[in-house]
A and B are shown apart, each in its own frame.
Chain A
Amino acid sequence: MKNESTVVERIVTTTESVTLSRYWMVSALIGLLFSSVAGLLVSLERIDLSSASIFSTADDVFQFWTAHRVALVLIAVLPLMIGLATAIVPRQVGSSRLVFPRMSAFSFWVWLFGALIIIIGFLANGGVGTPDATSETQSVALTLVGVLLTIIGICGASTSVLTTIVAGRAPGISLLNIPAFSWSVLVAGTMWLATLPVLVANTVLVYVDMRGRAPVNFGSEAVVWEQLSWAFTHPQIYLWVLPLLGIVAEIISAAFKNKISNPFLFTAIGLTGAAGFGAYAQTYFDIGTPVFEEAFSIIQAFIAIPAVLLVVAFISPKIKDLKGFDKQTTTPAVLATLSIVLLLHGVVVGAVHVIGPLELSTRSTVSAQIVLTLGAGVLACMAAFSWWGELLIGKSISQRKILISGLTFHFGVGIFAVADFLVGFTGQNDFTGVSEFAAGTDGSSWVETLNIISFIGSLLILLGVIAAIATTVQHVLSKTPATGNPWGADTLEWKSKEKEEVA
């Protein structure tokens, strides 16, 4: 019988994991563009903080500063990871299709709707409130609805992927035999399901208090960000990029023809996941005995370093023998290595900024760590696109273009992070709005120079993102067919053909 469904119907009703994965990743790249533009504008404003140049008030700067972080996590990094997992995990664990495919499709559309609402909320002077409460209350409420919808979407898609790993595996494949990427998604997804509902609880409390009457406490626009900020900073950000470790292990393993899959590597990934649990670190509710929590936070910060080092330790012996290196894999191997280098720097900066005497906990150092860690996640996704691109879009992949966009992005993150890390030592605050500047910095020429360097970093990040989007579009439109298994990798995803549309 002739299939009479229209293109729109097919787009909206598809349940095929690879198609859904493309939707997630393309939408996330647009979210990343939004986040990068917001970050660039804030960096531009910081060059001359003696007066407002492109924004009219410090509250406007704050709006874009928070938009950069919220978008980076909820509508860029997390959906990129989900998109990858949606396509790759079912193939890696030998499942004929994603478990709960309709829920996965529904989750994408809910997330997309939420992401659009978040962007509109920020552009309508809402966002997550402002310190002087000059934002539009209705728009703040709208943004919160967007945050809730994106989280529901991410949780739904995560549940689908996790259930595929736990209950949809092919018979004979034990959890300890699954590839490193699937394992890292299992750990990350479980921790996302443990922490995102906490963010939902915070958001619901703020929303209910905000609607229809004068707020009691939580719904005051001046304190909204304070209640939600734990999800966008140390240590929680390690959790958002956790699948990075699996991506790197897989690529390095195949590039050096040396299988990396052992319980110790899996334990190290699990330990990093545990170190990333940050739902307890809600400074807004710190009363009573903060000493314990502070001590816990410091211990946790330093645990993250050995955890990531352990992963590196399991991977690095494979790199030692360069003779075994397959030159074909240069692009994914370089990007994967650079991403773990960025992550390692991120956890070190994270540990440095909790050292009390340095007084860096509210300085620009925080911003350096966030961009290093989340940037590592984005770079790992670029490496993954380079690696699994043929499976994702079914076309041949131009490695050189991905390498150029990845390197541009990497240098942007590096330059931005170095400048922000150093300027943090001069006393520049993490949020450097116009009015905050005078109180937080000495205004020396050093600070201005470092802020200019930081702006150049932001510009490179944006250029890298634009290049990545252009490369993706070019690949989607390309007519060069996929070559099959270009790397000679031996994991299951390269050997399975799927036909999984749900009737």
Chain B
Amino acid sequence: MATILPPAPLNRPRTLMVGTAFITSAALMFFGCLFSIYFSIRSDTLAWGMEWFPENAIELVPGGMNMATLSISVATMGWAAYAVKNDDRIHAYLALILTAVMGIAMINQTVFYYMDIGLPIDHSEAALLLYVITGAHLVMVGIGVIWLGLLLLRAFGGQDTSRHRDLVSAASIYWYSTVFIYIFIWLFIYIGK
């Protein structure tokens, strides 16, 4: 008697992860270009013996606080992905909410710093580049927070389970890249000035 075997399980590649990886790489190139211009003009300005940022304009504390906030969010984002993978819905909610709150806190701190810094955008090339680079990063964090909000909506609707966790994994790739870019902002703009 002939036995009809079931079809082999389709090992479907994770399209959302691949797509997010492409878009994240594009975002990295965007910031790569901005940093290249930043270093190029900074080097030129300093070579001419001119001032880059005015004395005491760039404070270490706001950048450091943002870095600490985002560092913690890396752990909470990883926690969210782990919780979804293990169908631990309560912890997934908690981790996603915490990550989103960290993102909002980072945006809040940066906006406060913009108000406080007293450095107009048209002060110099340095000021312009500072606002463009940190502003673009702020937009990236904002998109990440919106994405997390959508994830929460889906999670409350019961759609994020261990079988459908791609959206959470893709969001975590995006979030980690956001933090990765901030490391450069913190090192080269806030610390290196």
A-to-B contact residues, CB < 8 Å:
99-100, 103, 155, 158-160, 162-163, 166-169, 171, 190, 193-198, 200-202, 204-205, 208-209, 213-218, 279, 285, 287-288
Contact = CB atoms under 8 A, between A and B. Distances in A.
Given A208-B128, A208-B132, A287-B41, 13 more contacts: A100-B19, A103-B19, A159-B22, A163-B22, A166-B18, A167-B19, A168-B15, A193-B22, A197-B29, A205-B34, A205-B37, A287-B44, A288-B44
Contacts of B40: 285, 287-288
A167 B132 contact: no
Given A163-B15, A196-B26, A205-B132, A287 B33 contact: no
14 contacts: A100-B15, A159-B23, A167-B15, A197-B26, A198-B32, A205-B128, A205-B132, A208-B128, A214-B122, A215-B122, A216-B124, A216-B127, A216-B128, A285-B36
B164 interface: no
Closest 4 CB pairs of A and B: A167-B13, A201-B33, A197-B30, A198-B33
A368 B129 CA distance: 36
Nearest to A280: B36
B29 A195 contact: yes
A96 to B, nearest CB: 12
Contacts, number: 99
Given A100-B15, A205-B132, A208-B132, A197 B27 contact: yes
Interface string B119-134: 0011011011101100
Contacts of A158: 22
Contacts of A103: 19
Nearest to A214: B122
A204 B128 contact: no
B10 interface: yes
B13 A204 contact: no
B30 A200 contact: yes
Contacts of B154: none
Contacts of B13: 166-169
Interface string B44-55: 100100000000
A198 B10 CA distance: 38
B18 A163 contact: yes
Contacts of B30: 197-198, 200-201
Interface in B6-39: 10-11, 13-15, 17-19, 22-23, 25-27, 29-34, 36-37
Contacts of A155: 23, 26
Contacts of A200: 30
B136 interface: yes
Nearest to A165: B18
A194 B33 contact: no
Contacts of A194: 25-26, 29
Contacts of B41: 285, 287
B43 interface: yes
A171 B22 contact: no
Interface string B99-111: 0000000000000
Contacts of A209: 128
A201 B129 CA distance: 11
A158 B19 CA distance: 10
A197 B37 CA distance: 14
Q: Which of B31, B124, B136: most chain A Cβ within 10 A?
A: B136
A325 B32 CA distance: 49
Contacts of B14: 167
Contacts of B125: 216-218
Contacts of B11: 171
B44 to A, nearest CB: 4
Contact of B132 (A163, A198, A204, A279): A204
Nearest to B18: A167
A158 B15 CA distance: 14
B26 A201 contact: no
Nearest to B25: A193
Contacts of A218: 125, 128
Contacts of A201: 30-31, 33-34, 37
A197 B35 CA distance: 13
A193 B122 contact: no
A219 to B, nearest CB: 9
A44 to B, nearest CB: 37
Nearest to B124: A216
B19 A213 contact: no
Nearest to B14: A167
A493 B29 CA distance: 33
B134 to A, nearest CB: 12
A99 B10 CA distance: 16
Nearest to A100: B19
Contacts of A196: 26
Interface string B134-163: 011000000000000000000000000000
A202 B33 contact: yes
A201 B127 CA distance: 16
A348 B109 CA distance: 54
A171 B10 contact: yes
Nearest to A162: B22
A171 B17 CA distance: 18
A194 B26 CA distance: 6
A155 B124 CA distance: 32
B122 A287 contact: no
Contact of A193 (B17, B26, B135): B26
Contacts of B43: 287-288
Nearest to A198: B33
